[in-house]
Structure 1
Amino acid sequence: MPERRTHGWLLLGRACATASIITGHLIAALPQLLTRGGRARLADRAPRLLTALGPFFVKAGQLVSTRRDLLPERWCDALAELADEVRPPRRAAVARTLAAAGLADAFAEFEWEPVACGSIASVHRARLADGTEVAVKVQRDGIRPVLEADLRLALLGARVGRILPGMRDLPAEEMIGQLGSAVLHQLDFAAERDSLLLLRANLGAHTDLRIPAPVEEFCRPGVLTMEFVPDLGRFRPLGMTLERRQEVVRDVLRAVYRMLFVDGLVHCDLHPGNLCLDADGRVVVLDAGFVVRLPDPVRRSFAGFFLNMAQGNGPKCADIVLESAARLPEGLDREGFRAAVTELVDEAFGALSKDFELGAFAPRLFKLQRDFGVFAAAEFAFPLLSLLVLEGMIKEFDSEVDFQAEAVPVLMASFAKDVQVDAAAAPRGRA
């Protein structure tokens, strides 16, 4: 009962603070709201508002910035500027989390000043008794009830927002529910440990990517201990030969395609901060807190969409989008949608494969979905969006990379695996 009362007071406090912040920003934006040109610039104010509201809204804004299938480009571009600009946690707060996890005296050395810091956790360099250097990810003390309270407030705001004309057809509650689940999932360090192990097992034999290994003995609720990778550099091709740049590109693409098409995993956070290079120029993948496991039907649908897109089969691509959609409007013009997607795929198929750009194709596909009221399921949108984020970084290494050609061998392996699984599951005829 006392815990429920505490959470009730926290929710009330967050509601009052949220209302005050939003009111202040609305008053400041009033001159813009009164002019057409000003209203168009409201998106530019969104990052400041979300930063003021707190970590849940910052994380949600970062995630929704990738949903270009739901929001206009201007809003996505503005929200993409959001960053976890937070103060390092106090030493006492980190010590409390370590003590609660039973790890107060587990490390021979522990650097209280974090090497990385976000709104959900901080990462500290430490040393085990045997001299092994490790990276210790420590969850912020008391962050879960704050995020849960903010999620409840965001859902309430979405329900109230239904009265606004521009919000009536937008599945705001579904979006916030998905985003909220994704944000809260990042608090599950046991799931992140399992994702690291799964990525290492699935990719180790197929790529040269380096994924830090969790140190099982020192992984507890709220604390994730991993091998420490020293001298990490930004994911940039500076100083590399053309041959080495091409090797890096192929290795990353093989890894991502295998995750998507064969293993059914999506690392939804492969931005430049989580994709690095070690001292030997080897690609390092960090932070598996936002790894989504695709349901098998979705994995198969996405692989089918990608292959049919590469083959220029627009009608089939359209059918896959419709079959996997989270919501379809009443009176949907299916033939109109199929014709529009077919035209888009035909244009892409007509270009040279190496000239194909997902960054040009995906926004047009997303706009078509918005225009026809077709809201994609997050499980289907996340893989496409993860490739979209990756494309820009990859092009820096090799502007001539053939995304589709690199995908074909992995797609073939995926379909071969599915055929074997289906054959094994099929009922056997009588002798």
Structure 2
Amino acid sequence: MIQTVPPLERVPRSSRLTMALRAGAWAGITGGHLVATTGRRLARRPHREPGLIELLTRLGPTFVKGGQLLSTRTDVLSERRREQLRQLHDRVAPMSAHTARTTLALAYPGGSPFARIAEEPAGSGSIASVYQAWLPDDTPVAVKVRRPGIGPRMRTDFELLGAGARLAQRLPGLHRVPMCRMVRHVSAAVLQQLDLAQEAVALATLRRNLADVSSFRIPAPLPELSRDDVLVMEWIPGLRRFRPGELTREQRRQIVRQVLQGVYRMLFVDGLVHCDMHPGNLYLSDADVVLLDAGFVVQLDPQVRRLFAEFFLNMSLGRGEQAAEVVLRSAEHVPASCDLAAFRSGVRELVESTHRRTAGQFRLGPFATRLFDLQRRSGIAAAPEFVFPLMSLLVLEGMINEFDVDVDFQAEAIPTLLAVLR
């Protein structure tokens, strides 16, 4: 458990930007003269300066979420940095016992439905803490309690990000990139995590959608016991973390394929995409892969889902020309001056260079960066909705590379894609 740090409301707003730059400089993941200068100044300060985890925690849940996502990226951060960021998965300092009791008392003014509830949380994240409780018939349940006042903090963060996007979009070469719309789409999806009633609906929907995916389990919500700031769900015993070193190579391969089967079902069949499949939300129970927390899920528009499936199939089959055509069909804007031949050639070269690569040889992050750069240089405005399936795969890719670098996760998608697109 990490140490409790001063709550966000005590951090002056004027210090937020400096703290954010400090976190980026400390992690070594941001660029630019301003951040570099900030990093050099910070390096000369005494060791009493707070570390990255404390900084992200003080900055609030939006930055904690970013740290969680980055902890999966072997191509972005060193193992030492990622190991530190893993503390953010479910070991963020919990709310005080008094705060939890007060929140529960307000949620159930007529009396608690629980016979008893554990004093210490089973897990704690940036938005909520989860406690084990028992119903009067001694049935164990999981009780997710939202942190009081977390909504205004997160909305302030996205207002700052929106302002930054508006400024960035004025820069040469970025004016056609729909950064403001992307921030709006992502902020709406992330803020949805505050709505525990919506999360209960998402849990129930994912359970139905994935019912026929073998060895993939999602806890059942108990909506009759849930409230606006409390989500009650099935307690799944015997959960253990994903630890590659404790499993045989065949067990790791089987787990990766189970997860991929579930993810490809979400992405290409049902369109209800879980964008937060980091190790804090994925567990093992016996032979089952257990997915917890359905707060950060997005329902894709059917047209977006189909276009993404078409692109992924063409990418998986090494068909660069067809992949380029899908990108052009899905674009929000293709300028009349666009050199279509050069764009198609660039996409073809990119797709063919990554065809038949295993997880250890292929990185989705650099691939997406190169694709976006081709679009930017051609003036092609991509649809912001595509950020969500990409985000889901980017987070998942980090876990895959830890478990089975030999899996061809492009090829694993082909049976599902052919069934959907036939």
CA change 1:120–1:228 in 2 (3 A) is: same
Is residue 2:363 matched to residue 1:360?
Answer: yes
CA distance in 1 between counterparts of 2:322 and 2:106 reads 53
Deviation at 1:265, TM superposition (A): 2.0
The TM-score with structure 2 as length reference comes to 0.78
CA distance in 1 between counterparts of 2:238 and 2:181 reads 41
CA distance in 1 between counterparts of 2:195 and 2:144 reads 12
CA distance in 1 between counterparts of 2:81 and 2:177 reads 19
Is residue 2:106 matched to residue 1:108?
Answer: no
CA distance in 2 between counterparts of 1:319 and 1:234 reads 41
| Preserved CA contact (<8 Å) 1:358 1:391 | no
Cα deviation per residue 1:125-155 (whole Å; 9 max; x = unaligned)?
A: 1111111111100011122233234433443
Structure 1 segment 410-425 matched on structure 2, within 5 A: 410-416=416-422
CA distance in 1 between counterparts of 2:270 and 2:288 reads 23
Is residue 2:195 matched to residue 1:188?
Answer: yes
Amino acid at match of 2:13: T
Amino acid at match of 1:406: E
Q: Which residue in 1 is equivalent to 2:13?
A: 18
Is residue 2:105 matched to residue 1:99?
Answer: yes
Is residue 2:304 matched to residue 1:306?
Answer: no
Deviation at 1:185, TM superposition (A): 0.5
CA distance in 2 between counterparts of 1:211 and 1:221 reads 21
CA distance in 1 between counterparts of 2:315 and 2:17 reads 43
Is residue 2:271 matched to residue 1:264?
Answer: yes
Is residue 2:141 matched to residue 1:143?
Answer: no
Cα deviation per residue 1:229-269 (whole Å; 9 max; x = unaligned)?
A: 22322213444444433332222211111111111121111
Mark the structure with the bigger radius of gyration.
Answer: 1
Secondary structure in 2 aligned to 1:126?
A: strand
CA change 1:329–1:64 in 2 (3 A) is: farther
Stretch of structure 1 that moved more, 86-95 or 112-121: 86-95
Is residue 2:204 matched to residue 1:197?
Answer: yes
CA distance in 1 between counterparts of 2:54 and 2:166 reads 20
CA distance in 2 between counterparts of 1:348 and 1:150 reads 36
Q: Which residue in 2 is equivalent to 1:55?
A: 60
Amino acid at match of 2:17: I
Cα deviation per residue 1:72-122 (whole Å; 9 max; x = unaligned)?
A: 968xx9899483774321233223322332265111011132121122111
Secondary structure in 1 aligned to 2:130?
A: strand
CA change 1:229–1:244 in 2 (3 A) is: same
CA distance in 1 between counterparts of 2:53 and 2:228 reads 32
Among 120, 123, 133, the alignment partner of 2:140 is 133
Amino acid at match of 1:367: R
CA distance in 2 between counterparts of 1:383 and 1:25 reads 27
Deviation at 1:272, TM superposition (A): 1.1
Deviation at 1:160, TM superposition (A): 5.2
Secondary structure in 2 aligned to 1:113?
A: coil
Cα deviation per residue 1:329-351 (whole Å; 9 max; x = unaligned)?
A: 784433222111101112223xx
CA change 1:119–1:326 in 2 (3 A) is: farther
Give 5+ residue unaligned stretches, structure 1: 1-12, 417-431
Is residue 2:286 matched to residue 1:288?
Answer: no
CA distance in 1 between counterparts of 2:183 and 2:114 reads 39
Secondary structure in 2 aligned to 1:217?
A: coil
Deviation at 1:380, TM superposition (A): 1.5
Give 5+ residue unaligned stretches, structure 2: 1-7, 44-50
CA distance in 2 between counterparts of 1:14 and 1:159 reads 26
Is residue 2:327 matched to residue 1:337?
Answer: no
CA distance in 2 between counterparts of 1:384 and 1:25 reads 24
Structure 1 segment 328-407 matched on structure 2, within 5 A: 331-349=337-355, 353=356, 355=358, 359-360=362-363, 362-373=365-376, 374=380, 376-407=382-413
CA change 1:121–1:328 in 2 (3 A) is: farther
Stretch of structure 1 that moved more, 98-107 or 158-167: 158-167
Q: Which residue in 2 is equivalent to 1:319?
A: 325
Q: Which residue in 1 is equivalent to 2:253?
A: 246
CA distance in 1 between counterparts of 2:318 and 2:308 reads 15
Among 217, 231, 239, the alignment partner of 2:238 is 231
| Preserved CA contact (<8 Å) 1:15 1:153 | no
CA distance in 1 between counterparts of 2:147 and 2:35 reads 41
Secondary structure in 1 aligned to 2:113?
A: coil
Amino acid at match of 2:326: I
Give the % identical residues: 44
Stretch of structure 1 that moved more, 225-234 or 13-22: 13-22
| Preserved CA contact (<8 Å) 1:232 1:277 | yes
CA distance in 2 between counterparts of 1:27 and 1:273 reads 25
| Preserved CA contact (<8 Å) 2:359 2:405 | no
Amino acid at match of 1:370: D
Deviation at 1:415, TM superposition (A): 2.3
Deviation at 1:207, TM superposition (A): 1.9
CA distance in 1 between counterparts of 2:16 and 2:337 reads 40
Greater helix percent: which structure?
1
Deviation at 1:211, TM superposition (A): 0.9
Amino acid at match of 2:358: D
The TM-score with structure 1 as length reference comes to 0.77
| Preserved CA contact (<8 Å) 2:107 2:229 | yes
Amino acid at match of 1:207: S
Secondary structure in 2 aligned to 1:212?
A: coil
Amino acid at match of 2:233: M
Deviation at 1:358, TM superposition (A): 7.5
Deviation at 1:284, TM superposition (A): 0.9
Amino acid at match of 2:317: Q
Deviation at 1:384, TM superposition (A): 2.9
Secondary structure in 2 aligned to 1:200?
A: helix
CA distance in 2 between counterparts of 1:189 and 1:257 reads 25
CA distance in 1 between counterparts of 2:306 and 2:384 reads 15
CA change 1:36–1:212 in 2 (3 A) is: closer
CA distance in 2 between counterparts of 1:240 and 1:271 reads 19
CA change 1:23–1:165 in 2 (3 A) is: farther
Secondary structure in 2 aligned to 1:266?
A: strand
